[in-house]
Amino acid sequence: MESFFERIGRVEDLLGNDLPEDYVAFLEKPRFAQKMAAPFRGRLWPVTCLFELGKGPGYQQLDGTLRLVHDVLPPGTLPIARDHAGNFFCLVLDGPRVGQVVYWDHEREIGDHTVENVSLSLTDFVSSLRIKED
């Protein structure tokens, strides 16, 4: 089994970018499976999965998800979470929005990389998450 940092290296190789230190630190922290929501589009938007590099199910793993979708994501973005419909909250790694979290709806024409602003930083995004009541 690969170590955490070997998996980080694999993700960075696939991206062609180093992961930001604050995101690596976030990935190192254990998370509990809870229904979460983030303020977005004027309401609390479901966040069904915060990706990890841990021992959880495959659909929660950052490296496995990235391998499946890296070629269709907007350039310079990294999926960090998924909503109820399989759309991604992404951390911007390059360009004028670097460091921001954006939302990418996967039901688009190939090559349409339009994103919506969510948070100015990873810290803002994580601190805005709320436990979703049923």
- Residue-wise pLDDT tens digits, 29-45: 877 667 899 999 999 99
- Residue-wise pLDDT tens digits, 52-83: 998 888 888 999 999 999 989 999 999 999 99
What phi, psi does 44 have (nearest 5°)? -85, 120
Which domain covers residue 114, as residue numbers? 4-131
CATH of the domain at 14: 3.40.1580
Residue 27 CA to residue 43 CA, distance in Å, equals 26
Counted domains in the chain:
1
**pLDDT for the residue 123:** 95
- Residue-wise pLDDT tens digits, 89-124: 999 999 999 999 999 998 888 888 899 999 999 999
For the whole model, what pTM was predicted?
Answer: 0.92
Q: Which residues, at least 6 apart from 2, have a Cβ–Cβ distance to it below 8 Å?
A: 10
Helix (H) or strand (E) holding 5: helix 4-15
HEC secondary structure over 52-107: ECCCCCHHHEHHHHHHHHCCCCCCCEEEEEECCCCCEEEEECCCCCCCCEEEECCC
**pLDDT for the residue 32:** 62
